[in-house]
Copies of this chain bind each other. A is one copy, B any other.
């Protein structure tokens, strides 16, 4: 998506440790009008898929998920990061390894809000190694819902997450796919 690539080129900052900071419009300050345009694009891509629920993970996915959900006229469910090991029978849980923080955490979704008959679109800001999305695939499978696809704002296509998720049969649509990036060389997008 040209609009997004231009914005990343203008406002994104490549930092050491494979970090792309897009805090100025997506992750800390949210340019709501701009992000709604990303939502409109997700709608264009998935509008014929019968989606009735959008799923994301707190925190940074929530804004884009809500602004996207308006086009689908459906609710958003956000998976919560569990503070403690949750053995509550009322929730689906999955473990996610965070490469950023070097530890495993649990995500959970209440059984009240996801289940058989739901057609789910997962929305998130980033896809890199795919750990969070693997956890989501697990939770949706537990619930009996169908994961129709994943709408990702920025995919680090030089990492293997996208390939892992696609090899599971999940349709992944990323609005910007980064082929490579470095502090010296800047950002190169996939064709």
Chain A residues within CB distance 8 Å of chain B: 23-25, 28-33, 35-36, 58-59, 62-63, 65-67, 69-70, 73-78, 80, 83, 101, 109-110, 112-113
Q: Do B74 and A30 touch (CB < 8 A)?
A: no
Q: Do A63 and B76 touch (CB < 8 A)?
A: yes
Tell me which residues across on chain B come within 8 A of A75, comparing CB atoms: 25, 29-32
Copies in the assembly, this chain:
2
Tell me which residues across on chain B come within 8 A of A24, comparing CB atoms: 112-113
Tell me which residues across on chain B come within 8 A of A113, comparing CB atoms: 23-24, 28-29
Q: Which of B29, B32, B74, B77 contacts A28 (CB 8 A)?
A: B77
Q: Which of B58, B63, B80 contacts A66 (CB 8 A)?
A: B63
* Complex Cα–Cα for A78 and B125 (A): 15
Q: Do A28 and B110 touch (CB < 8 A)?
A: yes
26 A–B contacts from the bound complex (CB under 8 Å): A23-B110, A23-B113, A24-B112, A24-B113, A25-B75, A28-B78, A28-B109, A28-B110, A29-B76, A29-B77, A29-B110, A29-B113, A30-B69, A30-B76, A31-B75, A32-B70, A32-B74, A59-B59, A59-B78, A59-B80, A62-B66, A63-B63, A63-B78, A66-B66, A66-B67, A67-B70
Q: Do B28 and A80 touch (CB < 8 A)?
A: yes
Tell me which residues across on chain B come within 8 A of A59, comparing CB atoms: 58-59, 62, 78, 80
Tell me which residues across on chain B come within 8 A of A101, comparing CB atoms: 83
